[in-house]
């Protein structure tokens, strides 16, 4: 046992020497412990709960297949669209999903450039979420064209009309932005995975596993000469992804802002959309990871401190979004444009008032609850609020799209859009795709960046003066470490037992 003094000394060594905050990873784990904890879920037998989750997600995915099949066969008439509402749930869903993806890139690129070490625990899952969200997003513009067999007209390909796409159209910018965003996200994610796939390769028992993970890890050895180029590539990709992610939602907002429709034609849209995207994305990361950290017993890796940081970002971006909502009304009044004033009055108090105030409550009011420390450090509270934010951000896009369209300049063309069952099933089905992909991710890919987490452990610093933590053979020590840290209010190093057979 350690005496109180020794424990305090160790605590000081483990925590940040400048801000004295709790360590990023609780329980003072050894390098091997990190490997074991993160590899366990993808190496053991498939858990029955995973199968349940997978089958549920796959069933919902099959709904998407049915809904899309029906759409391709019959055309967009199966949706509730009619003049003047030519865009409704399809584009709402597109913006919703693409926005969710932005948190992953923010964590992996922008927080990397700002040297935020806490991102290492959550970046892998968040980037995976980005990729799956982009997949879901791409469905909607792909199918909303109606005749999807000519969707390739969107690409600059020589076709039978020998015409090229109109490069002055923001919709075409969107095609490039979103596809390139998806491609770069996959590259970034896969590159981050290479060292961790090598870890799985080196631990693999079966021949098939060795071949598959060996193939995917491209012969990685952890050579210092390789790491140097690798880190440089990470830096470059982070540097490129940062303006990329900002440009993507900027261009998505151009789809609206470059039109002349009141309610869309505003210069605040790009920053407002980007803030909203990060806001919704962090809500989705929190929703997913609060469940994952509990289910996979990695609460010492994704700690309360990580959740608290995410909650703070939600409050910041939620406040930015709230500011934008208010400013839109101010500008509508200040412009003196009667159409602009009408559309905003109509947005808050017209037939879609319920959607507007759902959005406002979920996005502006609920993240302000995180000013209370008790709420932003409680996984249950963060989970509930993050669900509200997810709902609110979907409504934000619906409000922007539907309320600006449904009352045209001529009252004779006014229309009240209601979704049909196919609108609803297509949207619900896209969650099936998202959760099916996420299930496969949890089962086959290390869900936390193993190498990156190791590099933020105190003993990873070559100037670390303490004793290397011993490997801990107890099977589920994570809960113990977390419980201890919560009871003591600070970190007590878990009692270490030397592993048999170590040198």
Tell me which of 172, 268, 295, 320 binds another protein, using CB under 8 A: 172
Stretch that binds another protein, among 16-24, 144-152, 246-254, 331-339 (CB under 8 A): 246-254
Q: How far is the CB of 437 from another protein (least distance, A)?
A: 22
Q: What's the alpha-carbon Rg for the chain, to the nearest Å?
A: 25
Residue pair 29/394 in contact (Cβ under 8 Å)? The answer is: no
- Are residues 293 and 472 in contact, defined by beta-carbon separation less than 8 angstroms? no
Dist CA 258 CA 315 (whole Å): 29
Distance CA 242, CA 126 (A): 15
The nearest distance, CB 99 to another protein, in angstroms, is 18
Which H helix or E strand runs over 387?
A: helix 379-398
Tell me if 192 sits within 8 A of 123, measured CB to CB.
Answer: yes
Cis peptide before 256 (omega within 30 of 0): no
Q: Which span (1-9, 30-38, 79-87, 342-350) binds another protein, by CB under 8 A? A: 30-38
Q: Is 171 in the site for another protein (CB under 8 A)?
A: no
Min CB(12)–another protein separation in Å: 19
CB of 213 to another protein, least distance (A): 11
Whether residue 199 contacts residue 39, with contact meaning beta carbons closer than 8 Å, is answered with yes
- Say what angle helices 170-203 and 123-143 make with each other, to 10 degrees: 140
Given the rule CB under 8 A, which of 63-71, 198-206, 272-280, 418-426 is the region that contacts another protein? Answer: 198-206
What CA–CA distance (Å, rounded) separates 298 from 453? 12
Contact indicator for 118, 108 with CB cutoff of 8 Å? no
User: Could you say which residues in the range 140-169 bind another protein, by CB under 8 A?
Assistant: 156, 162-168
Residue 451 touches another protein, criterion: CB under 8 A: yes
- In the region spanning residues 199 to 228, those forming contacts with another protein, defined by CB under 8 A, are 199, 201-203, 214-215, 218-228
| 231 lies in the binding site for another protein (CB under 8 A) | yes
Q: Is 12 in the site for another protein (CB under 8 A)?
A: no
Size of the site for another protein (CB under 8 A): 70
Please report how close the Cβ of residue 228 comes to another protein at its closest, in angstroms: 5
Residue 310 contacts residue 302 (beta carbons within 8 Å) = no
Task: Report the C-alpha gap between 4 and 492 in whole angstroms.
Answer: 9
Of 164 and 333, nearer to another protein (C-beta) is 164
In angstroms, what CA-CA distances link 84 with 249, 252, 342?
25, 21, 17
Residues of this chain that bind another protein (CB under 8 A): 30-32, 35, 156, 162-168, 170, 172-173, 176-177, 180, 183-184, 187-188, 191, 195, 198-199, 201-203, 214-215, 218-233, 236-237, 240-241, 243-244, 247, 251, 254, 450-452, 454-455, 459-464, 468, 471, 503
């Amino acid at each position: 046992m350690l005496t109180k003094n020794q424990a305090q000394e160790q605590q000081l060594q483990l925590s940040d020497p400048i801000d004295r905050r709790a360590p990023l990873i609780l329980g003072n784990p050894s390098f091997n412990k990190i490997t074991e904890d993160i590899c366990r879920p993808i190496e053991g037998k498939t858990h029955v709960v995973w199968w349940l989750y997978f089958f549920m997600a796959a069933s919902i995915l099959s709904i998407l297949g049915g809904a899309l099949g029906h759409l391709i066969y019959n055309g967009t008439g199966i949706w509730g669209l009619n003049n003047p509402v030519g865009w409704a749930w399809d584009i709402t869903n597109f913006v919703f999903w693409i926005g969710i993806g932005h948190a992953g890139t923010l964590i992996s690129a922008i927080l990397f450039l700002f040297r935020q070490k806490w991102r290492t625990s959550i970046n892998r899952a968040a980037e995976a979420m980005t990729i799956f969200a982009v997949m879901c997003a791409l469905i909607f513009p792909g199918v909303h064209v109606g005749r999807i067999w000519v969707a390739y007209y969107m690409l600059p390909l020589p076709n039978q009309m020998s015409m090229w796409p109109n490069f002055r159209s923001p919709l075409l910018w969107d095609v490039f932005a979103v596809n390139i965003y998806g491609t770069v996200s996959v590259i970034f994610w896969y590159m981050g995975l290479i060292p961790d796939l090598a870890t799985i390769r080196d631990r693999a028992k079966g021949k098939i596993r060795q071949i598959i993970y060996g193939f995917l890890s491209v012969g990685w050895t952890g050579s210092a000469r390789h790491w140097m180029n690798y880190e440089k590539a990470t830096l470059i990709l982070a540097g490129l992804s940062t303006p990329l992610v900002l440009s993507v939602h900027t261009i998505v907002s151009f789809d609206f802002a470059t039109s002349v429709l009141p309610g869309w034609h505003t210069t605040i849209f790009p920053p407002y959309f980007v803030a909203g995207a990060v806001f919704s994305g962090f809500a989705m990361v929190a929703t997913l990871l609060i469940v994952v950290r509990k289910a996979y017993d990695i609460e010492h890796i994704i700690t309360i401190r990580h959740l608290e940081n995410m909650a703070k970002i939600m409050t910041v971006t939620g406040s930015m979004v709230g500011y934008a909502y208010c400013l839109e009304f101010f500008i509508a009044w200040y412009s003196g444009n009667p159409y602009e004033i009408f559309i905003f009055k109509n947005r808050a108090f017209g037939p879609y008032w319920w959607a507007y105030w759902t959005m406002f409550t979920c996005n502006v009011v609920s993240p302000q609850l995180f000013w209370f420390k008790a709420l932003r450090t409680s996984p249950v509270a963060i989970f509930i609020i993050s669900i509200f934010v997810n709902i609110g951000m979907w409504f934000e896009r619906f409000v922007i799209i539907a309320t600006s369209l449904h009352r045209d300049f001529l009252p004779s063309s006014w229309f009240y859009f209601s979704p049909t069952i196919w609108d609803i099933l297509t949207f619900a089905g896209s969650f099936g795709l998202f959760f099916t992909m996420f299930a496969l991710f949890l089962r086959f890919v290390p869900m936390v960046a193993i190498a990156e987490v190791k590099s933020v452990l105190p003993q990873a610093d070559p100037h670390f003066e303490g004793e290397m933590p011993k490997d801990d053979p107890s099977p589920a020590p994570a809960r113990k470490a977390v419980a201890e840290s919560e009871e003591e209010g600070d970190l007590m190093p878990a009692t270490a037992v030397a592993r048999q057979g170590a040198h």
